[in-house]
A and B are shown apart, each in its own frame.
Chain A
Amino acid sequence: MEILNMQTVFVFEAIIFVSAVLMHVVKRNSTIIIIYLCQSLALVGLLGIHAYQEQSTGSFLIALIVLVIKVLIAPRFFLRLINRSHQNLSASTYINVPMTLGVIIGLIFFAQSDIFSPFNKLLGEMPALRMMLISAIFISLFLTINRKGVLSQIIGVLSLENSIVAFGFFVGLRQPFNLELGILFDILILVIVSTVFVSMVYRQFDSYDVTRMKHLKEE
């Protein structure tokens, strides 16, 4: 049972990692959001397994809230925005796809370097898991930096947040129930604020492309 659970959580972490990589490859906003939904679902899976192991009602509730915020509310908000604005094609990246993949490979190698060897003690002797957990963080961060579209940027921030929560899960850094609720509440507010901002940006610039934002430079 324990081995099965370990394999399952490994698969869930692999989904989180692969989702972070795939977000760089796809061009359509709606596809990025679907990938984010899958990534969030994998995170819910991790939390659900933990709750099952612990037989903890609080942990089940947390997994359920994450499901509601990240799988149901956030993607729906963003998809509705895309439908309203008819801007499904994502804005381009600052560097092209082959170079982006090159950077991602570099980040994966960096995540495997000895700099992060102190994490072995926290994560157990599983080099592949360490590589996926750390590189998912870097790759999500890189998505926000590399994309020119506001929607992709905010999805990058949310993917970074998913990767960090997954990292915290494997390191065993669970918080008291009320604190976890506080963190989730903060994330819900971030989702709402960023959605409102994305729509405000579209109204102001008639596009989701950040390269249209030149007014600060011109002043």
Chain B
Amino acid sequence: MILSLVILVPLAASILSLLVAKRAKNLYRIAAAASFIELAASSAVTYSIAVNNSPFSWTPYFSVDFLGAILLMLVAIVGLATSIYSIGYFKAEVDKKIIGFHRVREYFILLHLFLMAMFFAITTTSPVLMWIAIEATTLSTAFLISFYNKPSAMEAAWKYLIINSIGLLIGFLGTLLFLSIVSHPYPINLIDWSALAKNASNANPLIVKIAFVLVLIGYGTKVGLAPMHTWLPDAHSKAPVPLSSLLSGVLLNVAFLAIIRFKIVTDLSVGANFSQGLLIFFGILSIVIASLIILMQKNYKRLLAYSSIEHMGIIALGFGFGGIGIFAALLHMVYHSLAKSMLFLASGNIFLKYSTTRISSTKGAIFVLPVTGVLFLAGFLAITGIPPFGTFLTEIYIVSAGLKNHPVIVITAIIALTLAFVGFLRSVFSMAYGEPGEITKGEKSKWTTLPLIAIFIILLALSLYLPDFIKVFIQNASALISKTI
């Protein structure tokens, strides 16, 4: 029953937002209340899983295991922070007369639908329903990417729609092929992940391999793995900032969840080497391409978007290397989600102040925006894997997991990560220091500052001390992923 709240509350919030005729305040109240309920319900589900040490189910269609719980909590936390931030951000945009009430309402209606689709994708037991939900994330966010109705935003949205639709159709073909491994051809009942896993060992290995390649290319497009990443920098940089935070912070992980679920089935059928090889290939390609572009980047929102591609590559590498790499990749997902959503929200505050996304036109952010500036610097340290942030350890673990069997890949990854660090350092310091010119000092509002502080506190706390129950969740999720023949 609690699980139903996670899915139905955002749907109800979307419908209620549609009914709001005049006052933006009501939209804000609905968003805040819905996000709080979603977080409370997600926490209750996670708590139940921890106490009972077993998945939490609601009807045969929905179930959350240890792996799903990690993502559920991430979506709920980042979702809450983003909803609260959106209030302050859109108030400022309405004040500046950039948008009006109807656009704000459109944003909140689609935001709730987007959150619902992500919750649905995480909690469903069916690969087909998961595909429907992930496709729904594309359809609900396409209009938000073209939100500002500028030619460049329209281009980005079109690219996003076409590339992701093709990618997801390829993923659908892979999903259909996976379903063919279940022995009865006309199932009356639902084929869920456990049915796929049970039948995996009897499946034709060649079909499983082709199916996994299709799934990896299909969902990999949504994850932003190179070379299918081309839509991501445009879409993430053109979307309204709070949406960029959700796209980069959590949606990429939700799409990655689909790949992980199919990887489990593939490994049970053909052994882990096949999927690991592919993940290493796409992972290192993503890291190298993203790092080289980060080095030359002139736009800070695109910088953050390319960094997301780089981090999806790191996570893919972790799953590819296996062993401790899987644990580290899952933990890296958590740290990346928090750090990247904080960075995007901070970039929103910088944009509200400077009205530009050009790095060269943004100077002295640390003096103009004392809180945001410091948090932007902290986010930079976290995202580039500098201590005391947890990404330092997860990257070390991932690298050490591959050192023995894939030394060339590891060395290439280290060089690429160093280049990305240099690129980030140059851009962030250029933005943080220098003469700001005639820009008024001070934060816009508490609504746009508090969510950043909250995410930063969670990120720092989890970096300095990882509570045992979170370790147990990640260990159990790693054990689930490591199951092979």
Residues of A within 8 A of B (CB): 115-119, 121-122, 137, 141, 144, 150, 153-154, 157, 160-161, 164, 167-168, 171-176, 179, 182-183, 185-186, 189-190, 193-194, 196-197, 200-201, 204-205, 210, 213, 215-216, 219
Contact = CB atoms under 8 A, between A and B. Distances in A.
A216 B189 CA distance: 47
A215 B190 contact: no
A121 B154 contact: no
B392 to A, nearest CB: 34
Most buried by A among B126, B150, B172, B188: B172
B128 A197 contact: no
Interface string B141-183: 0110010011110111111011001100100110011011000
B185 A194 contact: no
A193 B142 contact: yes
B162 A157 contact: yes
B186 A174 contact: yes
Contact of A193 (B139, B172, B210): B139
Interface stretch (B27-35, B129-137, B311-319): B129-137
A98 B129 CA distance: 42
Most buried by A among B135, B143, B151, B210: B151
Given A118-B210, A193-B139, A183 B204 contact: no
B151 A153 contact: no
A216 B234 contact: yes
B173 A164 contact: yes
A56 to B, nearest CB: 10
Given A210-B158, A213-B155, A173 B146 contact: no
A197 B299 contact: no
A20 B45 CA distance: 47
A215 B157 CA distance: 12
Contacts of A183: 128, 132
A167 B173 CA distance: 8
Instruction: Please provide the 10 A-B residue pairs with the shortest distance between their CB atoms, ordered closest to farther.
Output: A118-B206, A215-B152, A172-B185, A213-B155, A215-B151, A168-B176, A173-B176, A118-B207, A204-B154, A182-B132
Nearest to A177: B188
19 contacts: A122-B207, A150-B158, A154-B162, A157-B162, A157-B166, A160-B166, A164-B172, A164-B173, A172-B180, A172-B185, A173-B176, A174-B186, A175-B179, A176-B190, A179-B128, A186-B135, A193-B161, A194-B161, A213-B155
A175 B178 CA distance: 13
Contact of A204 (B151, B173, B190): B151
A31 B38 CA distance: 48
B64 to A, nearest CB: 20
Interface of A, secondary structure class, is helix
A94 B204 CA distance: 39
A9 to B, nearest CB: 16
Contacts of A185: 132
Nearest to A141: B166
B437 interface: no
Contacts of B172: 164
Contact of A189 (B139, B176, B187): B139
B316 to A, nearest CB: 24
B59 to A, nearest CB: 12
A197 B142 contact: yes
A189 to B, nearest CB: 5
Contacts of A154: 162
Interface in B221-254: 234
Contact of A175 (B128, B152, B161, B180): B128
Contact of A144 (B135, B166, B187, B204): B166
Interface string B316-331: 0000000000000000
Nearest to A210: B158
A144 to B, nearest CB: 6
Contact of A197 (B132, B161, B177, B210): B161
Contact of B154 (A118, A153, A161, A200): A200
A75 to B, nearest CB: 18
Contacts of A201: 154, 158
Given A179-B126, A216-B156, A122 B135 contact: no
A190 B139 CA distance: 7
B471 to A, nearest CB: 37
A96 B257 CA distance: 41
A86 B229 CA distance: 35
A122 B185 CA distance: 10
A168 B169 CA distance: 12
A6 B325 CA distance: 51
